């Protein structure tokens, strides 16, 4: 590729190639490739159980990969000003979709989180995550430049709208991701530690309240701290099978196609795809996946901290916090390190709308962490 694009190439793609973080881009592409591999490993058994054709989920996953790549590339070409405009549009459309979901969404296990659009389920909150990270960073950056600007209050208002709509679904997991993003950006912005401590206290109170307000939260917390409180054949079935899969996989795995968990767990291709990887390919692939996510998070944080723009620094930090936190929640749930939470693994779990939303998010991250070589964007 270096021989294809000369450093003197002033075309849009040429400038993009020499300014984008090619290491992070490579790691993202490898994760996408692993997602395709694990789709072949995990999806056929689930599809057969649902009588929709052996490669139904594989085909749908493969169909969404090219558009996701195209979207990620297109968004990564944008400058910070255009990223803000895109985030504003996505946020407004996302809020509208969240409202529509409350009335016309598909109810699954007592929660309305998905809209059916052209035969495909769409989760609006997946798209609104990166948009909120960028808009919150924008407001906080304006506060940094002009102390009189109510940036913290405006960003809190943007967060409050989303939290209200998400809790009405209810979706506590996505709510926690958005709140963690906002708090992380405040930390990057330099908020005094005493205020961070106050926010942490408020968060603890909020979690305690959720325990008493939402029965499914209380049930999952009780099962986590006292496994005997749940029925191993019902409440703890997927987690029990997941842990068994990791043990049976050992260091090197049972071999491609030899796994058992995908035949027994309904969400083996989505929420528990990490367990499929552990059973069929072993500990080394799991560690490699963890290393890829950690590499993207740490490299992007370091790269953003080197930028002179406070907006770029906070927006990139927010996006990568979401990315890393989503991966952590999925893996930790599969290993029963935290209470079970249905959250997909970025680019690896099956999910068409999730794949596109992540492409937008990573496209924004790649755009913000590009080297600008002295070019001053309008911020």
Question: In the prediction, which pLDDT does 377 show?
Answer: 44
Q: What pLDDT digit, counting tens, does each position of 269-297 carry?
A: 888 889 999 999 999 999 999 999 999 99
pTM check: above 0.95: no
Residue-level pLDDT at 375: 46
Above 80 in pLDDT, residue 222?
Answer: no
pLDDT at 131 over 80: yes
When the pLDDT of each residue in the chain is averaged and rounded to a whole number, the result is 85
> Which pLDDT value is given to residue 353?
80
The top-scoring range by mean pLDDT among 190-204, 222-236, 351-365 is: 351-365
Output the pLDDT for position 265.
79
Q: Are 274 and 286 in contact (CB under 8 A)?
A: yes
- Mean pLDDT value across residues 19-47: 91
CB atoms within 10 A of CB 65: 18
Q: What is the pLDDT of residue 314?
A: 93
pLDDT in tens, 63-112: 989 999 999 999 999 999 999 999 999 999 999 999 998 888 777 766 77
* Per-residue model confidence as pLDDT tens digits over 158-168: 999 999 999 88
d(CA 306, CA 84): 20
Lowest mean pLDDT among 43-52, 212-221, 351-360: 212-221
What's the pLDDT score for residue 343? 82
Candidate from 77-86, 135-144, 240-249, 282-291 with smallest mean pLDDT: 240-249
Range with the lowest mean pLDDT among 125-134, 298-307, 361-370? 298-307
Highest mean pLDDT among 15-24, 109-118, 342-351: 15-24
Comparing 234 with 45, which gets the higher pLDDT? 45
Query: What is the percentage of the chain residues whose pLDDT exceeds 70?
Result: 91
Closest CA to 130 of 312, 379, 367, 362: 362
Q: 123 pLDDT band (50/70/90 cuts)?
A: confident
- The DSSP symbol for 370 reads S
Instruction: Give me the helix-helix angle, 172-188 and 151-167, nearest 10°.
Output: 170
Helical spans, DSSP H, in the chain: 12-19, 22-50, 56-76, 80-104, 124-145, 151-167, 172-188, 193-213, 215-225, 237-249, 261-264, 273-305, 310-334, 352-368
pLDDT of residue 376: 43
Across the range 331-352, mean pLDDT stands at 84
129 compared with 193, residue with greater pLDDT: 129
**pLDDT above 80 for 319:** yes
Separation between Cα atoms, residue 19 and residue 319, nearest integer Å: 19
| pLDDT of amino acid 110 | 66
pLDDT at 230 over 80: no
Smallest Cα–Cα separation from 133: which of 355, 365, 296, 337? Answer: 365
pLDDT band, very low/low/confident/very high, at 260 (cuts 50, 70, 90): confident
The residue ranking higher by pLDDT, 226 or 237, is 237
């Amino acid at each position: 590729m270096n021989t294809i694009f000369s450093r003197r190439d002033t075309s849009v793609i040429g400038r993009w190639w020499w300014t984008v973080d090619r290491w992070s881009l490579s790691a993202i592409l490898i994760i996408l490739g692993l997602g395709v591999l694990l789709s072949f490993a995990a999806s056929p058994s689930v599809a057969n159980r649902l009588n929709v054709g052996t490669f139904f989920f594989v085909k749908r996953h493969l169909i969404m990969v090219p558009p996701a790549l195209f979207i990620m590339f297109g968004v990564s070409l944008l400058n910070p000003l255009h990223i803000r405009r895109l985030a504003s549009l996505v946020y407004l459309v996302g809020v509208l979709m969240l409202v529509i979901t409350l009335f016309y969404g598909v109810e699954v296990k007592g929660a309305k989180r998905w809209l059916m659009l052209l035969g495909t389920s769409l989760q609006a909150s997946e798209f609104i995550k990166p948009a909120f990270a960028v808009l919150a960073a924008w407001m906080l950056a304006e506060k940094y430049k002009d102390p009189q600007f109510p940036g913290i209050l405006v960003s809190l208002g943007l967060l409050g709208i989303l939290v209200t709509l998400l809790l009405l679904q209810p979706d506590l997991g996505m709510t926690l991701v958005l709140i963690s993003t906002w708090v992380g950006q405040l930390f990057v912005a330099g908020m005094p530690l005493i205020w961070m401590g106050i926010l942490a206290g408020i968060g603890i109170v909020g979690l305690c309240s959720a325990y008493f307000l939402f029965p499914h939260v209380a049930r999952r917390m009780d099962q986590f701290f006292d496994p005997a409180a749940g029925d191993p054949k019902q409440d703890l079935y997927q987690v029990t099978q997941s842990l068994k899969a990791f043990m049976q996989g050992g260091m090197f795995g049972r071999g491609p196609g030899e796994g058992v968990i995908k035949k027994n767990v309904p969400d083996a291709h989505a929420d528990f795809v990490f367990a499929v990887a552990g059973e069929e390919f072993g500990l080394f692939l799991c560690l490699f996946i963890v290393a890829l996510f950690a590499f993207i998070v740490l490299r992007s944080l370091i790269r953003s901290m080197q930028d002179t723009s406070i907006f770029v620094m906070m927006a990139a930090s927010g996006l990568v916090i979401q990315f890393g936190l989503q991966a952590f929640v999925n893996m930790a749930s599969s290993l029963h390190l935290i209470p079970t939470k249905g959250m997909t693994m970025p680019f690896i779990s099956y999910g068409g709308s999730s794949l596109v939303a992540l492409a937008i998010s990573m496209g924004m991250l790649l755009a913000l962490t590009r080297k600008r070589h002295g070019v001053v964007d309008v911020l």
